[in-house]
Structure 1
């Protein structure tokens, strides 16, 4: 195994006081825990009282005690039903006993979410758990991915309903196996596959353009509630982690990238939506998107002028504390510019999807010899283009490759799509295990920083590995931390959706969304005020315990010098 280089600054960090947001989050967690315990107690007392009166049964009582704010399997609600739900949220904030009792599932979800946030903080920013140094083994990385792929293929290969081109099961599988390699790249710091990781990230951005265009173009549904739900999905968890861990938004650069390109697709199709029905209208919008991207990214001065505007600059600046930079917008410019065009290619593929699907169906109806000949030609062309791209682009050194990546990342993506969908059986079958992992990619991406890897300091990059076991057991430690990490990511996925159902119900009216936003903002303002007062008046908080990486790792590092 090759031991990756680690500087002493990577394992030693200064004492850092808690921030107002962190204290406010702790207050919210404590309040939620207390309200949940009280709600469970009140509900139990109510059930006992009803049983003594011999009125109704447990089922009826549970139905009354079920949360009107969080119903996991209830169908879409009408506008009146949604409006009727929301006053209960205000009543909860006012500590109304009946409302607290009624929304026990929501309070339980809040306590679980807070507990996970506490775990992330303890695992990454305290000396509760040790850490270990990263080491790279090409053989081990390849072995792990191969074994997982074989297991996924043997145990979870499932057919879709119809052999549609780029069906949902297939794209989720695509995200899943890319995410596994992306995470292993971080865990082992496998620098030699850097260029491949750039292609995978381009694949995620491509799917942002493809999936959003497909939905809006097909359904013509520009409902603000759905858009808000998408923004919640992309940003709620990262916002919470940024507050608890005292990190910058840009540390998790995938989130702002997907948010930006999702907004751009929504605006592109939502503005002048009536022209989406005309071919020339769609082509004009594609041209406009190219021009906007060229002006805002290829002319660097305009990019810096746009994102240098105070509110945007505050959100997008980032400086690695271990490697300070004089340009805090460089990270955002570098990350977003790498994939600035590929989302447009995704939209173009979504627009051409019906045409391509029709051609594939015609191909499937040809004689056997004709099918074999055409498929062989398509596969040979795709493979040939892929080989040329590998030879002339992929094998370039990192800096040279990055210079070409924005203009060439669509090539391997297009070749993969052709090869993956060349026959009906290849289109219809997908590995459900990778599909499951593909659905929680956002949570695994964010969670890896603090419960699989370790950053140790605010805004720090994950330079070390979380360790549950002594240093002599790297594989057992990998298995143990991975199990905890994947489970936490899975729970965060469901909890994020649970809170979304509370604040952004399906088909909610604008009035309901505004009322919930005002309620949430008011509660956040109160929490921030309380947090600020505690920080100001409590010396114990101002001089809190270190958020350094573990002392034992520092000691081991000293012995290596």
Structure 2
């Protein structure tokens, strides 16, 4: 197995940090296993004495007695000479600390192991490659087959968010938006896997829908919950950027290589900043209208006024670096495509209760009037969808990109209307798609390192089973989804450990400690690599 590129200081620093964590985790696991085994081997009278004693509160003398197999070292002068009480106390304290953090150490070790697996897939030649071959018939067949499979997992949304019995199911409920993300993400990954360039404009709309949800979801949370705490904000940034940050370090990638992550981060910051400013007045409709208008003015100023974009973003060149020259152009293109849609999401979120009341009144009207209104809405939506597809979506890529920022709200709005046209539609969701929707961030990032392989010029398909592309697809997809789901769970576990809710002091202490450890490891790694180069040259 050969490594494609020389090891970087970031990769070495990760390794220097991961190895101790792995050792501590194994040590804690073995320590607990040995203690439990010794506890089972104790005489019954000793077990009775220890039955009501919590493991974490056993005294040092009791632990020494336990580890000695029931022979008290403290009562032996020879034992006192052989084992210093201070050393015993120090070792016991360390072991207790590690055992108390067993869940965190286990999560960190598993998270790091998955990153190493991605490194092996992406940065070594252990696995082969297939060339991407796009066939529309196979592409559509696989997606339709998947939707048929997903339809067997349908479920109904209960009235979990409705305080009044008999009230209609909320439109755009949580399950529905997760389902929406799920079926889009499957097409998104298939688009990259097969190289389906003919649906590029459709994929642009999917990305816009994700950004729309950023505005919709963040506005809904901050407007309703009114939780602008730094802990909550840090947890949100952790969710968006933890995996991508480690991928950049371990795989020697640029942040902009995963452009959806910086886009979500930027637009989340915008929503948070505008809603937090004078947030005690957010109940006033005029204030919300002014804030949304201010968001629009800021975006117009940055993106529409020549020269302003470069002035605003040039200090962040180190984050926006790509293989393109100048790097800021890629960020201008990516973020510019969806610069307005997050504001549309905020507007939809603000009027969400109003629309819900309209739908409730509509469901209470007579059958004939209700059917007539819904038929009119469906007709308008279908006509609008046809016009958008014929005169916008079918344009060539460069021309379509010019219209996209101003038209992406059309297909998104059409989908929302049709998806919520009846009570039955609103209440029925597909469980498999909901599950996939919850791990879209992980599946997006990991597709480039588990499903695909970069040969320096273009993307190819990672080959685990040579000469069997469809069997290879099944296996790599299973690995991709399993790893994505596990990293999703691990991200949340580590979030609770490092960013505890309602504890600002611990949050600050953890941030300072993490920064100090990271800088120390990076400096040590840089020094070791620099010395190795000097020795190799001499």
Confirm or deny a common fold (TM above 0.5). yes
Q: Which residue of 2 aligns with 1:375?
A: 374
Deviations 1:206-253 (A, max 9, x none): 000001101111121112111100000000100000000001000000
Deviations 1:305-325 (A, max 9, x none): 11111xx11011211xxxxx4
Equivalent residues of 2:179, 2:430 under 8 A apart: yes
Distance 1:440 1:365, change over 3 A: same
With 94-103 and 398-407 compared, the bigger mean Cα shift is at 94-103
SS of match in other structure, 2:403: helix
Post-superposition shift, 1:507?
2.2
1:514 to 508, 511, 515: 508
Post-superposition shift, 1:138?
0.8
2-structure distance, mates of 1:541, 1:247: 28
Q: Which has the higher Rg, Structure 1 or Structure 2?
A: 2
Could you tell me the TM-score, scaled by structure 1's length? 0.84
Post-superposition shift, 1:363?
0.3
1-structure distance, mates of 2:470, 2:535: 38
Post-superposition shift, 1:383?
1.4
Equivalent residues of 2:3, 2:123 under 8 A apart: no
With 25-34 and 258-267 compared, the bigger mean Cα shift is at 25-34
SS of match in other structure, 2:383: helix
SS of match in other structure, 2:21: helix
2-structure distance, mates of 1:541, 1:438: 51
2-structure distance, mates of 1:252, 1:331: 12
SS of match in other structure, 1:192: helix
Distance 1:273 1:429, change over 3 A: same
SS of match in other structure, 1:170: helix
Q: Which residue of 1 aligns with 2:232?
A: 226
Q: Which residue of 2 aligns with 1:139?
A: 137
Could you tell me the TM-score, scaled by structure 2's length? 0.87
Is the aligned partner of 1:497 residue 2:492?
Answer: yes
SS of match in other structure, 2:156: strand
Distance 1:377 1:63, change over 3 A: farther
1:476 to 448, 471, 476: 471
With 479-488 and 106-115 compared, the bigger mean Cα shift is at 106-115
Is the aligned partner of 1:124 residue 2:128?
Answer: no
Distance 1:239 1:363, change over 3 A: same
Deviations 1:335-358 (A, max 9, x none): 000000000000000011111000
Deviations 1:406-449 (A, max 9, x none): 00000110111000000001001110100100000000001001
Distance 1:307 1:222, change over 3 A: same
Alignment root-mean-square deviation, CA: 2.3
SS of match in other structure, 2:5: coil
Is the aligned partner of 1:535 residue 2:529?
Answer: yes
Q: Which residue of 2 aligns with 1:38?
A: 27
2-structure distance, mates of 1:25, 1:288: 42
Segments of structure 2 that go 5 or more residues without pairing to the other structure are: 59-89, 160-167
Q: Which residue of 2 aligns with 1:337?
A: 336
2-structure distance, mates of 1:95, 1:456: 50
Is the aligned partner of 1:464 residue 2:460?
Answer: yes
For residues 274-423 of structure 1, the aligned pairs below 5 Å read 274-309=280-315, 312-319=316-323, 325-423=324-422
Equivalent residues of 2:5, 2:123 under 8 A apart: no
Post-superposition shift, 1:122?
0.6
Equivalent residues of 1:18, 1:541 under 8 A apart: no
Segments of structure 1 that go 5 or more residues without pairing to the other structure are: 1-12, 65-91, 320-324, 544-561
Post-superposition shift, 1:37?
1.3
Equivalent residues of 2:4, 2:125 under 8 A apart: no
2-structure distance, mates of 1:145, 1:95: 55
For residues 177-192 of structure 1, the aligned pairs below 5 Å read 177-192=183-198
Post-superposition shift, 1:542?
8.4
